[in-house]
Amino acid sequence: MFDRLIAFVLEEEGGYVNHPSDPGGETKYGISKRSYPDVDIKNLTKPQAIEIYRKDYWRDEWEKLGLPLAMCMLDTSVNMGMSRANKFLSGCGGSYVTYLQLRLARYKEIVTNRPASKVFYKGWMNRMTRLRRFIDEQKDPTPSDNTGGSR
Instruction: Tell me what pLDDT residue 20 has.
Output: 73
Q: What is the mean pLDDT of the chain?
A: 90
Question: In this structure, is residue 148 part of a structural domain?
Answer: no
Tell me if the pTM is above 0.95.
no
Question: In this structure, is residue 144 part of a structural domain?
Answer: no
Report the distance separating Cα 40 and Cα 121, nearest Å: 28
For residue range 68-95, what is the model confidence (pLDDT) as tens digits? Answer: 999 999 999 999 999 999 999 999 999 9
Q: Which residues does 84 contact at the CB level (< 8 Å), separation at least 6? A: 76, 77, 106
Give the mean model confidence (pLDDT) for residues 114-142.
89
Question: In this structure, is residue 59 part of a structural domain?
Answer: yes
Give the mean model confidence (pLDDT) for residues 52-66.
96
Question: In this structure, is residue 38 part of a structural domain?
Answer: yes
Residue closest to 131 by CA, chosen among 65, 71, 82 = 71
Question: In this structure, is residue 143 part of a structural domain?
Answer: no
Full residue range of the structural domain in which residue 68 is found: 2-138
Question: In this structure, is residue 78 part of a structural domain?
Answer: yes
For residue range 2-25, what is the model confidence (pLDDT) as tens digits? Answer: 999 999 999 999 889 887 777 667
Question: In this structure, is residue 115 part of a structural domain?
Answer: yes
Question: In this structure, is residue 149 part of a structural domain?
Answer: no
Instruction: Tell me what pLDDT residue 141 has.
Output: 54
| % residues pLDDT > 70 (the chain) | 89
Q: Considering its fold, how many domains does the chain have in total?
A: 1
